[in-house]
Amino acid sequence: MLSPCSATCAARAEEAGQRTTFYAQNLRGTLARYESLPRLAALTAPHARDAALRRAADAYLKEVQAAADLTAVYLMDATGQTRAAKQLGPALVVHRAELCVPAVLCRRYARGVRPLLWRGQHDRRDPGYFLAVPVREGGQPIGAVAVKINLDSFEATLARSGDTVLLVDRHGVIFLSSVPEWKYRTLGTLSAAQRAALDATRQYGPHALAPLDPRAGSVPFSADQAPQTLRVALPGRSVSTLRVQYRPVGLLGWQVAVLIDPRDERRRARAA
């Protein structure tokens, strides 16, 4: 039979798991809303000859942009360079210089819808979430259209939640966090292969990507065996060992992580 403290702690852990699931489902829904947008944007590319189709796509994209955090649309050539493109209405500007995608990623886009969390070469602000599809002419891919989605509102929701919530990529890099100073830290040490992959895409710009937990300095990160505890200091608190709950989200191996301070659970158990 569980002691009152053990029973309360188990209940708190279950509640934390439910909240972790909620955050993951919320983000999944946010990302799913945008999956058709790059295909519609590709219909408005300069080579498209159906004027009625272009007008319909323009109108739809303007409505979506007005109601959602769609930041920008880019038209890239086969080398990955952003080129001049048709403006999708006055409210949605096509940026020509902000994005510079390596050719290898443009070829990746040509295989179909491919999401990517990425910081553009000329974009020194927070990274965006990109969805892209190929632009074809004569059945051959000649470039790609990418839409950039702003995740700031989701991050602001995390900050207001009262939970300590992280969104980490498949390499264990924290790219959204309810604790702002933890962004671009890692849950483990990046291997040489992981660093090479990130360097190839310039995904996180100049950030050092140092481990959040000093104990992880020699422990390579593995998404299949993500750390179950982190020894860190929450804002305004001393260093403590926090438990971590994970939920997968998206197509890129992302995980939502909620950190649980056992001190809070013990306090609630004593008060129960």
Task: Output the pLDDT for position 122.
Answer: 43
Q: Does the pLDDT of residue 177 top 80, yes or no?
A: yes
Look at residue 113 in the predicted model and tell me its pLDDT. 52
More confident residue, 160 or 267: 160
Tell me the per-residue pLDDT of 41-62, one tens digit each, with 9 for 90 and over.
666 655 555 667 656 656 665 6
The model's confidence at residue 149, banded by pLDDT at 50, 70 and 90, is: confident
Q: What percent of the chain has pLDDT over 90?
A: 24
Given this model, what pLDDT does residue 183 score?
93
Residue 257: its pLDDT value, please?
96
* Confidence (pLDDT) at 8: 60
Q: How confident is the model at residue 84 (pLDDT cuts 50, 70, 90)?
A: very low
Query: Strand pairing of 128-137 and 254-260?
Result: unpaired
With a CB cutoff of 8 Å and minimum separation 6, the contacts of 145 are: 38, 41, 42, 45, 73, 74, 75, 76, 132, 133, 135
Residue ranges and CATH numbers for the domains of the chain are: 4-30+151-271 (3.30.450.20), 33-149 (3.30.450.20)
More confident residue, 127 or 259: 259
pLDDT of residue 98: 45
Segment 194-230, tens digit of pLDDT: 988 888 777 787 888 999 998 876 678 888 889 999 9
How confident is residue 134, by pLDDT bands cut at 50, 70 and 90? Answer: confident
- Residues across the chain: 272
Could you read off the pLDDT of 224-259 as tens digits, one per residue?
889 999 999 988 889 999 999 999 997 778 999 999
pLDDT digits (tens, 9 = 90+) for 86-125: 444 444 444 444 444 555 555 566 555 556 665 544 454 5
* pLDDT, the chain, mean: 74
Got the DSSP string for the chain? ---HHHHHHHHHHHHHHHHHHHHHHHHHHHHHTTTTHHHHHHHTSTT---HHHHHHHHHHHHHHHHHS-EEEEEEEETTSBB------STTSPBPSSS-B--HHHHHHHTTS---EEE--TT--SS-EEEEEEEEEETTEEEEEEEEEE--HHHHHHHHHSSSEEEEE-TT-BEEEESSGGGTT-BSSBPPHHHHHHHHHHTTTTT----BSSGGGGG-B--GGG--SEEEEE-TTS-EEEEEEEEEEETTTTEEEEEEE-HHHHHHHHHH-
pTM: 0.76
Q: Say how far apart CA 205 and CA 198 lie, in whole Å.
A: 9
- Write down the pLDDT at residue 17: 82
More confident residue, 36 or 44: 36
Q: Which of 1, 2, 5, 9 is nearest to 243 (CA)?
A: 9
pLDDT of residue 9: 60
Q: Provide the pLDDT for residue 91.
A: 45
